[in-house]
Chain A
């Protein structure tokens, strides 16, 4: 089963909001710890190494693209 990137939540805003709110009141350090823990929980729930690899590839591409764009904007 490939990684699903179509919208899976009936109310995507609720999901985004839930994650945002979970970070409220946490220090930067705690936030980073929280993210790491959440990633591991969700990865295990998916339980499919190929889907996980696809997700990692997508996340990495978006992260690197975003930081590249930021650099270009700063140079302009």
Chain B
């Protein structure tokens, strides 16, 4: 099977020659150079932190694996300097169609309005995304990426974590201020801290076949219940770059994985679906899945992110995307704690916000899975009723669940300042910022998300009109002014509309682009209080 595989060399590091009292000390060690670990390393490095990134392999993983990256993930990657590269390579999409048998039940558009820098989703093989992330890491001297370095033992102390790392040259030790475990669903660090990882196991099996072919299907997500080519079960078709198509077929729970994944057994299934056999296999995988999360994402100085901390079913693109949201959420908080700008307790808000997001993702993906694979006769009967109602009612269509796709969570968090003013719309505290087109003084067209990046992805005041807020903004925070004299121009009025803004309105954005507070008429006192709260200082 032809597939891009980036190979990286193991290099001996001087740390390996140090032992005893001379053991190397690092503020942050990230374990696992997947999308989450790499993105976190880049974010921390861009914030001025030095990061050691360990990975037990010496190449990027096989298979397409995660393929759907959300708007929110792209906005994060924009901040890391690689969003455009991902979008240029990826397949942009926003429309999904749901079929039942021969006929279409309905279609949905995940981003029906213009005026956003990034699309609802791109499809991109995980190995492409990882390769671009590694390229970016290699531009950053602050990230020390060590391949074939496997964390094999961990000892938590008051002031540091002692890690034992095994390499082709034998084991060595390092001390880390913080260890961030991004080592995936089978996380060995999770076992080392003795954390439980239980949840719901799903017995149904799904077959993934990525096939290479030239086809004229539109770049949409197509999902079938009970299609004529795969009776009684569900199927998914989705386009990736390089003329690769993701096909996902539900199998029964008794299927024998060793037999089912044989290409000669997969080929007739795909041929029935496509109506021809002019395709080559790129990757075949058979999987079952679990929905589960750790009770605590923060274990003292060991912090868990991505699949290591939580696992969901793949329907909804909530795996990699939620892991990236973890990274984005953690990076600025860890940076502030390391700089002693915020107390260590700020890290607790990472657990609060991201474990609630994990619960939401588990709930959504469990519902999708249960709809696709009903657990009892009566569940199957209710699903049948929904599918039949969907043929002629709007509410029936909306109840059909072929996967609810990842959107950013809204955090109920101690970092938010509750609204005191009246708002009819706009992102509320705890929600992520919304994009809108704006233009700069020289007529340069840009987007709010870009303006936020230009401010350095730090606490930023987004102010509308000629308000006193910007002139009197607290020290050290960025400012974006829309409208008024010298402000950015909101020619289409979309920024004002999306933020329900009036002259004088202002939003305080966190360094991860979430809304911390908003005011109709901010005063310095209220801004200071909101900023302190969002920094974990009270």
Contacts and interface: CB of A to CB of B under 8 A. Distances in A.
Interface stretch (B198-206, B388-396, B493-501): B388-396
Given A40-B396, A40-B399, A44-B395, A32 B389 contact: no
A41 B389 contact: yes
- From DSSP, what is the main secondary structure of chain A's interface residues? helix
Interface residues of A, number: 8
A47 B384 CA distance: 21
Contacts of A49: none
B386 A40 contact: yes
Contacts, number: 24
Contacts of A41: 389, 393
Nearest to A29: B381
A9 B126 CA distance: 59
B385 A33 contact: yes
Interface in A25-39: 32-33, 36-37, 39
B4 interface: no
Contacts of B378: 32, 36
Contacts of A32: 378, 381
B235 to A, nearest CB: 24
Nearest to A36: B385
B382 A40 contact: yes
Contacts of B382: 36, 40
A32 B377 CA distance: 11
A32 to B, nearest CB: 6
A49 to B, nearest CB: 13
Nearest to A45: B395
A33 B389 contact: no
Interface residues of B, number: 12
A37 B395 contact: no
A32 B378 CA distance: 9
A41 B388 CA distance: 11
A40 B389 contact: yes
A33 B243 CA distance: 43
B399 to A, nearest CB: 7
Contacts of A44: 393, 395
Interface in B135-168: none
A40 B385 CA distance: 8
A40 B390 CA distance: 11
Contacts of A36: 378, 381-382, 384-385
Which of A33, A36, A37, A39 gathers most chain B CB within 10 Å? A36
A32 B388 CA distance: 14
Interface in A17-60: 32-33, 36-37, 39-41, 44
A33 B384 contact: yes
Contacts of A33: 381, 384-385
Interface string B361-398: 00000000000000000100110111011000101100
A44 B386 CA distance: 11
Most B CB atoms within 10 A — which of A32, A33, A37, A39? Answer: A37
Interface of A: 32-33, 36-37, 39-41, 44
Interface of B: 378, 381-382, 384-386, 388-389, 393, 395-396, 399
Given A33-B385, A36-B381, A36-B385, 15 more contacts: A32-B378, A32-B381, A33-B381, A33-B384, A36-B378, A36-B382, A37-B385, A39-B385, A40-B382, A40-B389, A40-B399, A41-B389, A41-B393, A44-B393, A44-B395
Pairs of residues from A and B, 10 with the lowest C-beta to C-beta distance, nearest first? A36-B385, A37-B385, A44-B395, A36-B381, A36-B382, A40-B385, A32-B381, A33-B381, A40-B389, A37-B389
